[in-house]
Amino acid sequence: MSRDLAPPAPSRFRRFWGLAPGTVFLNHGSFGACPRAILELQAELRERMEAEPVQFLWRHYDEQLEASRAAVARFVGAEPRDLVFVTNATTGVNAVARSLKLKRGDQLLTTNQDYNACRNVLAETARRAGARLVVAPVPLPLRSPDQVIEAVLRCVTRRTRLAFIDHVTSPTALVLPVWRLVRELEGRGVPTLVDGAHAPGMVPLDLEKLGPAYYTGNLHKWVCAPKGAALLWVRRDRQPGLEPAVISHGNNTPRPGYSPFQDRFDWPGTFDPTSWLCAGEALAWLGRRLPGGWKELYRHNRLLAVQARRLLCQRLHLEPPCPEEMLGAMATLPLPERFQGLPRNGKIDAEQLRLYDQFRIEVPFMRFGLPERRYFRFSAQLYNSLPEYAFLARALDVL
């Protein structure tokens, strides 16, 4: 590697994470990254679990889970009785979609910017019932959030039984106008399932006020909990009839003080619950890193993403595909022209692999739209710094 392409000094917060030295990790979005302190807590919990498996997993499980659930519920503006842990957002979407009682001819509504795994759940649910999956075409580039509202509402019909709305889209990293979407859709009698896979810890949440029928979100991404921690919040009128993806003891074993919804979800069979138990502490730990707490962290990460996008657009002569008001802590940009039109040649694009192998930069490349365009997405977490994006710009220039 030439000298002017030596990696930049990392942010002062990087030492709190165990990310491999010499790597430039600009892909918090895909799987998150858990800080050392939280992994140590998880290791302690695992030791306790293996020392006294029955005491840990059966006798004291509920009280330990409750402390973490209460902290997460407070963080997302919910009451604990309406919130359960699930392993990931995919599981949350499965529980909701597969509990729907659909009839032939019914419609499920999603957008073209949804996440492939979740699209598959909706498509399979629709197929089994003889229902139809309708995909609203949200344009890209996009000038205003109004275009999202228009694209979605235009596809609502009398047969729409559920609208699936991403809070933050995966391929395009747009923060969608969920407040307006939920209000408009629920106001038309269309229940909404918000896929907030990226939202907790990236944007402030107030689920009671937002009031969708269902909301699922990951805690292992922007809350930095260990992998396997996510939430599912369900509005009270929608809780009866909602089955978890895995049916277990809870269906006939009520516990005093718990909602039937919690009973059904809290024990999905023997598993390692330590990521759920760590979620509350992960929230508290990350919230203590900046003097202004979570409010400052939201602002910090968003500002870093905005500044990084300006820098990359300027250095690589790129047109941003959406206004800054639609950004959270990630952004997607089109790859420079010389990357366009090349065929896909494996699970991960060859240039993405080269970016890592030559420069140790982790950034996902994606393909989107018709005709297909190629994009890259970068994330901004506390352990990132602006010089890392300048390094990415130089690397993309010579790749």
Ligand X SMILES: Cc1ncc(COP(=O)(O)O)c(C=O)c1O
Q: Point out which residues bind ligand X (CB under 6 A).
A: 30, 88-90, 115, 117-118, 166, 170, 195, 197-198, 218
When the beta carbons of 215 and 391 are compared against ligand X, the nearer one is 215
Of the pair 170, 275, the CB lying nearest ligand X is at 170
Give min distance, CB of 388 to ligand X, in A: 21
Q: How far is the CB of 193 from ligand X (least distance, A)?
A: 11
Cβ pair 89, 197 in contact under 8 A: yes
Give min distance, CB of 115 to ligand X, in A. Answer: 3
Our CB check for ligand X shows the closer of 196 and 334 to be 196
Q: Which two tokens stand for residue 245?
A: 């993806």
Query: Which of residues 195 and 281 has its CB atom nearest to ligand X in the complex?
Result: 195
Under the phi-then-psi rule, with left for phi > 0, alpha for psi from -120 to 50, and beta for the rest, what region is 279? Answer: alpha
Task: Name the residue nearer to ligand X (CB basis): 166 or 281.
Answer: 166
Phi, then psi, of 9 in degrees rounded to 5: -65, 135
State the nearest-atom distance from the C-beta of 70 to ligand X, in Å.
23
CB of 166 or CB of 388, closer to ligand X: 166
Check the CA dihedral 21-26-32-34 and report its sign.
Answer: positive
Name the minimum Å distance from CB 197 to ligand X: 3
Shortest distance in whole angstroms from residue 352 CB to ligand X: 16
DSSP 243-271: --SS--GGGS---TTS-HHHHHHH--SS-
Amino acid symbol at 73: A
* Residue with Cβ nearer ligand X (176 or 283): 176
Q: Which two tokens stand for residue 172?
A: 């395009």
CA 305 to chain centre: 16
Residue 96: phi and psi, rounded to 5, are -70, -50
Q: What separation in angstroms does the CA of 372 have from each of 50, 367, 375?
A: 50, 6, 10
Q: How far is the CB of 379 from ligand X (least distance, A)?
A: 11
Helix-helix angle 146-153:178-187, to 10 degrees: 30
Report, in Å, the least distance between residue 112 CB and ligand X.
13
- Is the Cβ of residue 197 or residue 395 nearer to ligand X in the bound state? 197
Shortest distance, CB of residue 142 to ligand X, whole angstroms? Answer: 17
- Could you tell me which residues come within 8 angstroms of residue 272 by beta carbon, excluding any fewer than 6 positions away? 46, 49, 228
**Gap between the terminal Cα atoms of the chain:** 11
Closest CA to 265 of 215, 231, 238: 231
Distance of CA 19 to CAs 13, 16, 26, 321, Å? 11, 9, 11, 30
Instruction: Give the C-alpha separation, 93 to 131, whole Å.
Output: 17
Nearer to ligand X, 10 or 221 (CB): 221
Using CA atoms of 341, 343, 348, 351 in order, give the dihedral in degrees to the nearest 10.
-50
Residue nearer to ligand X on the CB measure, 24 or 122: 122
Smallest distance, Å, CB 31 to ligand X? 8
DSSP 8-state symbol, 56: I
C-alpha 218: how far from its chain's center?
A: 5
